[in-house]
Structure 1
């Protein structure tokens, strides 16, 4: 078994994908591992109506989890296929989601750090990836998770703001106090964030009239927003802000 086969197994690749070659760059600035992936010629990729061979390819690169202590990148010429109606579509690859510059495993690792309550700035330092890119990963997976929620049973919520960058770009998070998960995230920390929340709540089967308790800090903007948009809610100021 050679190195390309070992890395193929480590990546979990299956037909038609394989590791074509491995390169290690060693410079004064950094040491990086580059894995070049390819697909079997003539392989027919499934389309919406049948299957088709590659029409052409697009060069793509993704940052992967470190191998050993070295940064690792995957490179591949991703095939595009022609469908029955003549349109051209890029094939989905099994190691990354569409339009991402990271592999799924890298994004899972970043989200695991965030879920363990590590600030995004620290995740950025740990992964050597800029904070805005980490925020895009976070926003994608949070939006995807929240889009599946049904909020018809929500009656008690907690809300708090945090900043993407020290002193700038605030976001407000809303959580179901009974079930504990985050149910909504939006930009800002003013009264408009409560309006944004109520719109999202009702779009997912919830009702603002059913909200009985709101736990939050003593922000005048939050108080104003809750009073206007959650008329039946009792305000509870959490102990961390008293």
Structure 2
């Protein structure tokens, strides 16, 4: 197979285009591939699609393609310009690249995979392009995705709403996820009721009616916004188990803090709770092997923290209830037991669960959880640590 035939096949170049020449510069580590179209060929107007004759050619352009082994590969061609009766002289679309891009579609596809895995800076180094070039590829990908979504709008039936902070709590944004498709549907600045209002207002009455469940934390603003816009919202809002367990874990930690402050006055550094903060954050089955012996003794002790941790672990069983009636009984007993312990943080947790019980138990009508939104946290956290996208919130 000749080199031109090889690259014709590798590049996927089809009629009326053909590879006419391939130059290999070993010293420069570069392959140059030259492409031309057949004579007297007609091309579509990029505006209306009407078949037009070639008016002239733009100056020769170069596109970066995927490397050939270790050799940088460049594609060269003179784009034809057509004269449309309606739109005048326009440059014809090229099958290997988007308009105004200096990269082939195959290169951009690979670049997007790299960009999804690391920061713009690191992706640029891996790809051998500048930061601005990598950023431009990413921005085009975002715009294509948004255009596809707007061209074929879909309303999620099960929605997850969550707040995120790209910094250290100084600013927040609201993320709306499609829990069925596991995709981010919308992002808005802030975490107020008005923020979520903006998303609901984008949906038609029919789309709002079709919503089956809205999983969220126990945020008042999100609840209020959803009630304002989603029909029969109070029967569809599900307070997410992930966030409920976060509150339970915080209650355990506060009990530990209070107890440690008391014990340290007597025991000093020898307090049994010394250096145990992170142990109490583990669930029963997740305690690392190196801590098992110590934690086994701690959780069987008469420490208030051990009892609070046991209550937290007990609460996890709520979502294993067979049905809503069983769950309701479970929750009633848990609230009673938590209050009976007379630990202020547990009493506060019990009161919160009592006040929110209806929408905690909605889970057993429509088992939705925004854990999928939380599952997106690693990527969202990378927005902070890798510096991705924050020159433009749209991305």
Q: Report the TM-score range of the alignment, normalised by the length of the smaller protein.
A: 0.7 to 0.9
The CA deviation string for residues 187-227 of structure 1, in whole angstroms up to 9 with x for no partner, is: 64554753443344x169632994742346x9xxxx47524
Per the normalisation by structure 1, the TM-score is 0.72
User: Structure 1 14/71 Cα, relative in aligned 2: closer, same or farther at 3 Å?
Assistant: same
Bigger strand fraction: 1
Bigger helix fraction: 2
| Secondary structure in structure 1 of the residue aligned to 2:155 | coil
Please tell me whether Structure 1 or Structure 2 has the larger radius of gyration of its CA atoms.
2
Tell me the residue number matched to 1:39.
37
1:142 is aligned to 2:145: yes
Report the Cα distance in structure 2 between the residues aligned to 1:53 and 1:19, rounded to whole angstroms. 19
1:236 is aligned to 2:262: no
Report the Cα distance in structure 2 between the residues aligned to 1:156 and 1:56, rounded to whole angstroms. 51
Q: Cα offset for 1:44?
A: 1.9
User: Structure 1 193/4 Cα, relative in aligned 2: closer, same or farther at 3 Å?
Assistant: farther
Structural mapping, 1:120-159, within 5 Å? 120-121=119-120, 122-129=122-129, 130=131, 131-159=134-162
- Pairwise CA RMSD of aligned residues? 3.9
Do 1:44 and 1:54's aligned partners in 2 also have CA atoms closer than 8 Å? no
| Secondary structure in structure 2 of the residue aligned to 1:206 | helix
| Secondary structure in structure 2 of the residue aligned to 1:230 | helix
For this pair of structures, how many residues does the alignment match? Answer: 230
Per the normalisation by structure 2, the TM-score is 0.48
Identify the structure with bigger relative contact order (alpha carbons < 8 Å, sequence gap 6+): 2
Tell me the residue number matched to 2:118.
119
| Secondary structure in structure 2 of the residue aligned to 1:88 | strand
| Secondary structure in structure 1 of the residue aligned to 2:58 | strand
User: Structure 1 90/134 Cα, relative in aligned 2: closer, same or farther at 3 Å?
Assistant: closer
**Structure 2: which 5+ runs fail to align?**
228-232, 247-395
User: Structure 1 145/50 Cα, relative in aligned 2: closer, same or farther at 3 Å?
Assistant: closer
